[in-house]
Amino acid sequence: MSRVSVICPAYNRGAAIADTIASVQAQTLRDWELIVVSDGSDDDTDEVVSSLAERDDRVRLLRTRHHGHPSEPRNIGLAESKGEVIAYIDHDDRWLPRHLEHLTWALAGGAQLAATAATKVNAAGAVLDTTPPLQLCWHPDFQVMHALFEPTQAAHVAGLAEEVGGWRVSMTGLEDWDLWLRMADAGARCQTVAEATVLELVDPSTRQSMVITEHGWEIARFESMLAARAAYRALKDLRRVEAAREAMLKDVRAWYGSLAAEGELVVPIGWHTDRAEIDKALVDTVSRTPITSKELWPDMAIEQRDGHVALVHLVSSMTAEHAQRIGDLTRKVMRHQMALYADVLESGRVTA
């Protein structure tokens, strides 16, 4: 039995998939199997993988009908895996040599889910950004609020994905967030690693660049479109940027501070920090958030709903239920932000 089963869904990647496979073969942890699930590829992907598998019996090709989505190929790979740990790599990403070593080390500490930092690159190989340590802090509530990491960054103990229902098909491109959230809801705990061991491709052709935002949570309701538009303009007034920034900073400081004080904040391995460093990172993050850009609350929209007009925050979630959970949690932990909304929304509101 291999210690790690690596699942790679692939579709029409051709010769380029050889670089992805080579990055798995270069791992310092040598005890692995790589299952490449070709999603009905009709180019030379299968031939390239088969040729590599002939020279390395740890590499295996599974061919399936075309699903047009990576979830089912990943489920097929799960059913065929033999490892104690399951890791994922997308067909256009690469790992640095110590990736599996870091993931298995994190899981050995008692976590059921683990993830490392990633460096995002474009098609020319230029570095775009690297995951900052603050974004790798973990708590079940953080998993509700944000899509924290991509499949290529993650690994989990064998059997966990099946226990929570496996990978679900989502045309929104958020099936990974959905799976990690169901794992957290089932009581799984995550340990992250500060070191960037993944090179993730960011390109207009990738699914990551085509995420659909189709759900939202209500900020307030109005009897007329006129009243909703007036409230929208008032909240989007750029003169409120500083007040919005201060409200957000107060809220995240209180949130992270309470979790840290209660010992519930998971800090990434390798980030040698303390409360002061976390606070500095929060200040830096809030200063760069879209709330302080040329458009205040860029995810705010007006929607005509049954019997009323709603002012909503759009959310890139897979389900409407998840969007509602984000709204409920926002009301709970972002109290200064919600108070700012309440102060502005004085006319035409039915409920908030």
Phi, psi of 346 (to 5 degrees): -105, -15
Residue ranges covered by each domain of the chain: 4-209, 215-344
What's the pTM value of the predicted model, to 2 decimals?
Answer: 0.92
- Which of the four CATH numbers 3.40.50.720, 1.10.240.10, 3.90.550.10, 3.40.50.300 does domain 4-209 have? 3.90.550.10
- Give the largest CA-CA distance in the chain: 71
Contact 29, 104 (CB under 8 A): yes
Q: Are 233 and 154 in contact (CB under 8 A)?
A: no
Q: What is the pLDDT of residue 348?
A: 45
Look at residue 186 in the predicted model and tell me its pLDDT: 98
Coil vs helix vs strand at 269: strand
Q: 314: which strand partners?
A: 216
Q: In what order do the strands lie in the sheet with 215-222?
A: 215-222, 308-315, 300-305
How far, CA to CA in Å, does 347 sit from each of 222, 296, 298, 308? 9, 20, 22, 14
Question: So what's the pLDDT on residue 127?
Answer: 94
Per-residue model confidence as pLDDT tens for the chain (352 residues): 579 999 999 999 999 999 999 999 999 999 999 999 999 999 999 999 999 999 999 999 999 999 999 999 999 999 999 999 999 999 999 999 999 999 999 999 999 999 999 999 998 889 999 999 999 999 999 999 999 999 999 999 999 999 999 999 876 678 999 999 999 999 999 999 999 999 999 987 665 555 567 799 999 999 889 999 999 999 999 888 889 999 999 999 999 999 999 999 999 999 988 888 888 999 988 887 766 556 788 899 999 988 889 999 999 888 899 999 999 999 999 999 999 999 988 744 544 4
Radius of gyration of the chain (CA): 22
Distance CA 342, CA 344 (A): 5
Closest by alpha carbon to 200, among 272, 119, 136? Answer: 119
**pLDDT attached to residue 352:** 46
**What's the CA gap between 191 and 174, in Å, rounded?**
21
Query: Which pLDDT does position 350 carry in this prediction?
Result: 47
CA distance 34 to 83: 10
Q: Give 54: exposed, middle or buried? Use CB within 10 Å, 0-12, 13-18, 19+.
A: exposed
